[in-house]
Amino acid sequence: MAERPAPPAAGQHRRIVAEAAEWLVRLEAGADAGTLDAWRRWHDADAEHAAVWRRYADLQRMLPAAPRGASPCDLPPAAQALKAVASRRGRRQAIKLLCGGAAALTAGGMAWRQADSQGWLAQTRTAVGEQRPLTLADGTRLLLNTRTAIDIHEGRTDTDTARIEVVLHAGEMLVDNRDGGGAGLRLRTRHGYVEPYSAQLLLRQLPECSPSETMAALREGTARLVAGGRIEAALQAGQARRFDDAGFQPPQAWRERDLAWTQGVLIADDLRLDDLLRQLARYRHGFLECDDAVAARRVTGTFRIHDTDRVLEALAHHLGLRLRYRTRYWVTLQS
């Protein structure tokens, strides 16, 4: 059995804390779309990046008000830093204070995993909110959703049959080879691969899944699944299966709403608010969250993914919540 990656050394962790502090100050000072894309790449590249950033958000949400007449220095280092950022007291001072508060950020421990940076070097990537159709050499049609990264490799099998392998590094795509093409098509993720036969299939591998997993859902046709390079399963039309390196979860029924994004909508059916925001955030620049006190509120509705500002306004109105804009790109739903 492969060993788990060791937690990062103290020096490495301190570097990540410093990077997070730098990003916090840059975003608070105002950022364009390019800066936000760069921040998102940093955030998604490593679980520890996301964990440190989340703790910054938690700290800012829980900052104590300074007692009347008290000096800002009476606050904890991390709180001083966030207050400094909020009041524009200066980039260097804020970063220095944030790094000094690293101990507060590590309270309770952090999970760590090996960064999967390959996706950022992929041949084909979609931007935030972008959907892109592609046609492979064998006639197979792909539709890539937002924040999706793939590589396409052409070759031949051991029996000299033409093969196309599409490597999905992150995101999701709709695959259609029902017109007779794609006999040698293989769809690979970090957890294994899928071979669809005259099929229409949705393949999803999202970085925010915990534990990380792949989901394959078959609308038409048949497919062969292989998890971890050794465990096989068949997928029939109308079925969906999740899998990782260790194997497969039991089959589930195909859900037509999983394809709603191809029509530009997101469908929520009694969905937790925090889960809905996690899905909506894939179509929006920046950081989107809600307070823990309202995270379990249930939402049902259909939302246009290309106008996330209006979706947030509608959610706030119908749930009796308010929107807090820490910056243009950092939004929190609160009671």
Please name the residue ranges forming H helices in the chain: 10-28, 33-45, 47-61, 77-86, 91-100, 102-105, 273-280, 308-319
Number of Cβ within a 10 Å radius of residue 296: 11
> 41-84 pLDDT, tens per residue?
888 888 888 877 766 654 444 333 333 344 434 333 444 444 44
Task: Classify each residue of 223-249 as buried b or exposed e, where b means 16 or more C-beta atoms within 10 Å of its C-beta.
Answer: bebbbeeeeebebeeebbbbbbbeebe
The whole-number pLDDT of residue 64 equals 37
pLDDT per residue over 89-116, tens digit each?
A: 445 555 554 554 444 444 333 322 333 4
Q: Which residue has the higher pLDDT, 324 or 103?
A: 324
| pLDDT, tens digit (0-9, with 9 covering 90-100), for 188-231 | 999 999 999 999 999 999 765 545 899 999 999 999 999 987 88
Pick from 301, 299, 294: nearest CA to 323: 294
**By three-state DSSP, how is residue 151 classified?**
strand
Nearest to 269 by CA among 283, 284, 255: 255
40 pLDDT higher than 70: yes
Q: Could you tell me the two tokens for 1?
A: 């059995």
DSSP assignment of 224-287: EEEETTTEEEEEETTEEEEEETTEEPPPEE--GGGGGGGGTEEEEEEEEHHHHHHHHGGGSSSE
Write the burial class of residue 283 (CB in 10 Å: 0-12 exposed, 13-18 middle, 19+ buried): buried
Residue 111: the pLDDT is 28
DSSP, res 19: H
| Residue 121: pLDDT over 80 | no
